[in-house]
Amino acid sequence: MKISPKNILIIITAAALLSAIFVLSCTKNEPPVVIGAALSLSGSGSYVGEEVRDGMALAADEINSRGGINGRKVEIVVKNALMPDGKISDESAKSTFEELEKANPLIIVSSLSFVSMKLATIAEEKKRLLVGLVATVPELTHNRDWVYRYWTTAEHEAPPMADIFLEIEAESKSMSKGSSENQNGNNNGDGVLGVIYLDDAYGGSVFKDIEKRGKDKNISIKPSAFPSDTKDFTAYVDALKESDAVVIIGFDFHIINILKALRSSNYKGEIISTTTATLPSVTSTPESDGVHVTAPALYNKNYPFADQVKGRYEAKFGKPFTQYSANGYDFVYILMGLLEDKQMNQETVKAIFEKGFVYSGVFGNIELKKGSKDILFPLFPAKIKNGEVIYR
């Protein structure tokens, strides 16, 4: 029997409608895929948890607008992991973890090193998958079966900063002597590197790795640790004013205040900082001009995918897209992408993680090597110029 073009169109339309109804009914009847999030939503680091939360929310919204994953909606259940004063105790960590477990999450994520370290102990005891976001301290994943990380570690961030210092030293020697030992194959330096760092799990871990790297490269390290509530950095800067270069490690507001103190003291050496210094809150300050940084690919204008996500995020939330929001956004997409057409349970996720994977996201090429617990993204040497991150 010959079917007319009109009837063919009716058949195709009906089939598409039935398919849409089927997908919608499946999505409606299936329980959501829950991702639990124990985030830092109070205290001085609250903005980190807020940005991670919003990045996760954007990813979930986008995935759900396309029908979810395997016919199921994605739901992010968020709990503040911190007490009103911005601290966390063993009891409050346990309470937060138990509250999230009531939602029967596929996986639980946390933000910041000191929060993640508390929750990691509980996750191991309960055999619950935990992934630390914006968590640098190396010990987070050491000797643990159920704890992973999606962020760079101190072991990955410190070497590029030490290398930047060695390059600065080599250029300085070349300019003053017309030649340099470094140009003849000697990669060691003999300058003094001041390190002003936040005295907590994050700052301490980065400093220790810089110190170790310094010994290996014959760099003299002069440390200056400060507590989180420090506002006046004059004394810390004065202690390091004779250093050839200064590394700054802390939250963005610490970095801004330290930069102001360095500029006010007419410090003449070079300044180096972590990925935190690439945040718009830092790069927008005039004091940041000329600061050397280790930078994720996120701010590279030649990376259109990140620019597209940035545009959608800023349109939705009315604030800058940062590496913290990107961390939350990317993790939801990684998890959902790995689970496509697979069973949605913790055992499946753990098996995938144990095998390792490579994923392309807003940070570029992301990799979890087989047997590793750290999902890493690349860092690049860069410099802040006129409010922008300029990659070398």
For residue 11, pLDDT beyond 70? no
pLDDT value of residue 98: 97
pLDDT value of residue 301: 86
For residue 111, pLDDT beyond 70? yes
pLDDT value of residue 182: 42
The mean-pLDDT minimum among 149-158, 225-234, 363-372 falls in 149-158
pLDDT value of residue 22: 45
Residue pair 79/96 in contact (Cβ under 8 Å)? The answer is yes
pLDDT in tens, 307-316: 999 999 999 9
| DSSP H or E segment with residue 137 | none
pLDDT value of residue 179: 44
pLDDT value of residue 95: 97
Average pLDDT over residues 13-24: 48
Please indicate whether residue 174 or residue 335 has the higher confidence score (pLDDT).
335
For residue 76, pLDDT beyond 90? yes
For the chain, percent of residues with pLDDT exceeding 70: 89
DSSP state of 2: P
pLDDT in tens, 53-65: 999 999 999 999 9
For residue 251, pLDDT beyond 90? yes
Among 11, 26, 25, 56, CA closest to 38:
56
Rounded to 5 degrees, what angle do the CA atoms 93, 96, 102 make? 140
Per-residue pLDDT band for 188 (boundaries 50, 70, 90) equals low
Per-residue pLDDT band for 180 (boundaries 50, 70, 90) equals very low
Per-residue pLDDT band for 232 (boundaries 50, 70, 90) equals very high
Q: Dig out the tokens for 177 from the structure.
A: 């002597």
For residue 186, pLDDT beyond 70? no
For residue 346, pLDDT beyond 80? yes
pLDDT value of residue 213: 85
pLDDT value of residue 8: 43
Residue pair 282/256 in contact (Cβ under 8 Å)? The answer is yes
Which residue segments constitute the domains of the chain, with CATH numbers given? Answer: 31-151+303-375 (3.40.50.2300), 155-295+380-391 (3.40.50.2300)
Please indicate whether residue 224 or residue 169 has the higher confidence score (pLDDT).
224
Please indicate whether residue 161 or residue 330 has the higher confidence score (pLDDT).
330
Please indicate whether residue 157 or residue 287 has the higher confidence score (pLDDT).
287
| DSSP H or E segment with residue 244 | none
**Mean of pLDDT over the chain:** 89
DSSP state of 38: E
Q: Dig out the tokens for 88 from the structure.
A: 């966390």
Average pLDDT over residues 355-370: 95
Average pLDDT over residues 149-163: 88
The Cα 54–Cα 329 span in angstroms is 8
- Whole-model pTM: value is 0.84
The Cα 43–Cα 255 span in angstroms is 17
For residue 2, pLDDT beyond 80? no
Average pLDDT over residues 233-246: 94
The Cα 298–Cα 278 span in angstroms is 10
The Cα 151–Cα 329 span in angstroms is 13
The Cα 92–Cα 89 span in angstroms is 5
The Cα 295–Cα 275 span in angstroms is 5
Residue-wise DSSP of 327-353: HHHHHHHHHHHHHTTS--SHHHHHHHH
pLDDT in tens, 25-51: 444 578 999 999 999 999 988 999 999
